[in-house]
């Protein structure tokens, strides 16, 4: 059976996290350096993000204050991002429907 686009998206989320989390320290958490690499290399917006913005992001995600982010914290961030994307999609769809009436 072919993988659905949703399954592909989920697989990408998991493999992207582990692609960076295994580089230093614990293989199951992202250090600040690993998170920075992930943001810079795997997010189009990453190149434009300032160091201070990445620091702020890490601080807001690092709920255990141990300078590491586990998969749960990472998925919560992505969830917020996906809610943002979903909101954009709904707005775009409304615009599309209104334009085609």
Binding footprint of Ca ion on the chain (CB under 5 A) = 21, 25-26
Contact criterion met (CB below 8 Å) for 21 and 30: yes
- Closest contact distance (angstroms) between CB of 88 and Ca ion is 31
Which lies closer to Ca ion via its Cβ, residue 46 or residue 71? 71
- Closest contact distance (angstroms) between CB of 33 and Ca ion is 9
CA distances from 84 to 20, 41, 42, 77 (A): 24, 21, 18, 11
Which lies closer to Ca ion via its Cβ, residue 57 or residue 82? 57
């Amino acid at each position: 059976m072919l993988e659905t686009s949703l399954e592909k998206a989920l697989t990408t989320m998991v493999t992207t996290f582990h692609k960076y989390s295994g580089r230093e320290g614990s293989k199951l958490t992202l250090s600040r350096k690993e998170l920075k690499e992930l943001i810079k290399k795997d997010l189009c917006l990453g190149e434009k993000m300032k160091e201070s913005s990445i620091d702020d992001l890490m601080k807001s995600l690092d709920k255990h204050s141990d300078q590491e982010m586990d998969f749960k914290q990472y998925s919560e961030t992505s969830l917020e991002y996906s809610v943002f994307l979903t909101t954009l999609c709904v707005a775009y769809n409304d615009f599309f429907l209104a334009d085609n009436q």
